[in-house]
Amino acid sequence: MADTSFDVVVIGSGPGGYVTAIRAAQLGFKTAIVEKAYLGGICNNWGCIPTKALLRSAEIFHYMKHAKDYGLSADNVSFDPKAVIARSRAVVKRLNGGVEFLMNKNKITIIWGNATLDGGGKFSVKKTDAPAPKGALGEGAYTAKHIIVATGARPRVLPGLEGDKKLVWTYFEAMNPDKMPKSLLVVGSGAIGIEFASFYRTLGAEVTVVEVLPQIMPVEDAEIAGFARKQFEKQGIKILTGAKVTKLDKKADSVTATIDDGKGKTEQITVDRVISAVGVVGNIEGFGLEKLGVKTDRGCIVIDGYGKTNVPGIYAIGDVAGPPMLAHKAEHEGVICIEKIAGVPGVHGLDKSKIPGCTYCNPQVASVGLTEAKAREAGYDIRVGRFQFSANGKAIALGEDQGFIKTIFDKKTGQLLGAHMVGAEVTELIQGFLVAMNLETTEEELMHTVFPHPTLSEMMKEAVLDAYGRVLNV
């Protein structure tokens, strides 16, 4: 008979869930993880990873179309939509196998099905239709001393913009389209909306983005978002800010959208498909949180800095525990949670000011810490530095000379308050500033760090130097 009693059970196997389970096993806990659909969760299967595979295909296609810019030639350049999507799904399959391997390696029991919390450390699991990994336990009653909820999030639904799997897509359908649309309306300009807008535009679709707020990519620094917008518009993406979609009129294979421009006028556009990308909400329903009295707020579970809820023995991490809803936040939050449970010395609560955000559009956008506006609102007397890609040798050699790096310092202490980037490969550069912030590095240390040449990373140092009137290569 299978063992049904555990020290730690994690509900949900997304990046936060499976990393938490691994760390729990490392700490000596008898650990199980519950999953109802696919190991790796939304991120691995329908989010972070497959979108990057799609965007890579679009990037290569872009370079092929612009081969002449590099002294090369490529004739009759085209793409096979089915092959592009097949590559993306193959990446997913490979990573899923990796998660299963890690569970087995760390002797973590996989329980397959829908979990319901029954109270007092008890939970039950019911069968789902999704095929279970080899050796997984199934439906039945289980117990655990510590239950960590990592159920993630799902697309937010606005009335009138509900996904119908054909004409109105969520990110699920956008990643695996039934056809390649010639025209597309994207509602929402956060990371998900902008990445899909960038992907489909690069492959030739006419794309319109509608954002209800006055700025696209609303969480980003206004200067960065403004620059990105100009680049998107140069690529032919039409962007409407301060606007909202008030009506969708669906035809057999097209949609006519009525758009209120926020200034008293409306316009209608007809497109092949609509992508609803108006955010996500936590998966808090249907598994017993209400019954146990677990406190929630605005669609997320309320926790302290260590993942603890108001109910003893129940914890939450990742998207379901609130913003920022990012995979790397979920992973770190999970490690903090389980280490606190285990009594590991020196565990610090999550500092959300040091969680980076990355958007893999063209050009890429990456940021950490306070925007210039937020820094001023918080009362800081600040120094701001900027450095343009157009003054960097590596960027020019790459043919990617559009973008800039922006740094924000506390004038009084030299503390790095925020760093914001737009341009080629900035999602890979942002970690440098993350390390600096975690080490409480001041401008002095950054200015005396030797960066390699020629690299894009040199711009990071120059943006620091600029904040203090010492920039060299401008």
d(CA 112, CA 129): 10
The model's pLDDT over 74-90, given as tens digits with 9 standing for 90+, comes to 999 999 999 999 999 99
Per domain, the residue ranges of the chain are 5-50+83-154+281-352, 168-278, 363-467
The model's pLDDT over 340-373, given as tens digits with 9 standing for 90+, comes to 999 999 999 999 999 999 999 999 999 999 999 9
HSE toward the beta carbon, residue 182, CA cutoff 13 A? 3
- pLDDT score recorded for residue 44: 86
User: Does 453 qualify as catalytic in the annotation?
Assistant: yes
Query: What is the average pLDDT across 452-466?
Result: 98
Q: What secondary structure letter does DSSP report for 1?
A: -
- pLDDT score recorded for residue 1: 45
Q: Are both 168-278 and 363-467 of the same fold?
A: no
Secondary structure of residue 234 in the 3-state scheme: helix
d(CA 203, CA 186): 15
- pLDDT score recorded for residue 264: 92
pLDDT at 326 over 90: yes
DSSP string for residues in 147-193: EEE---EEE---TT----SSSEE-HHHHHS-SS--SEEEEE--SHHH
pLDDT at 243 over 70: yes
Q: Which of 146, 328, 332, 453 is catalytic?
A: 453
Phi-psi region of 405 (alpha: psi -120 to 50; beta: other; left: phi over 0): beta
d(CA 122, CA 284): 18
In CATH, which superfamily holds the domain spanning 5-50+83-154+281-352?
FAD/NAD(P)-binding domain (3.50.50.60)
CA 326 remoteness from chain centre: 5
Pairing of strands 122-126, 114-119: antiparallel
d(CA 243, CA 260): 6
d(CA 69, CA 64): 10
Whole-model pTM: value is 0.95
Fold of 168-278: FAD/NAD(P)-binding domain (3.50.50)
pLDDT at 63 over 70: yes
The model's pLDDT over 430-450, given as tens digits with 9 standing for 90+, comes to 999 999 999 999 999 999 999
Cis peptide before 214 (omega within 30 of 0): no
Q: Which residue has the tokens 């000379």?
A: 401
Residue type, 181: P
Nearest residue to 111 via CA among 7, 4, 1: 4
SS (H, E, C) 317-367: CHHHHCCCCCHHHHHHHHHHHHHHHHCCCCCCCCCHHHCCEEECCCCEEEE
DSSP string for residues in 47-90: SHHHHHHHHHHHHHHHHHHTGGGGT----S----HHHHHHHHHH
Query: What is the average pLDDT across 93-122?
Result: 95
- pLDDT score recorded for residue 45: 87
Q: What secondary structure letter does DSSP report for 288?
A: S
The model's confidence at residue 16, banded by pLDDT at 50, 70 and 90, is very high
The model's confidence at residue 47, banded by pLDDT at 50, 70 and 90, is confident
CATH number among 3.30.390.30, 3.30.1330.10, 3.20.10.10, 3.40.50.970, domain 363-467: 3.30.390.30
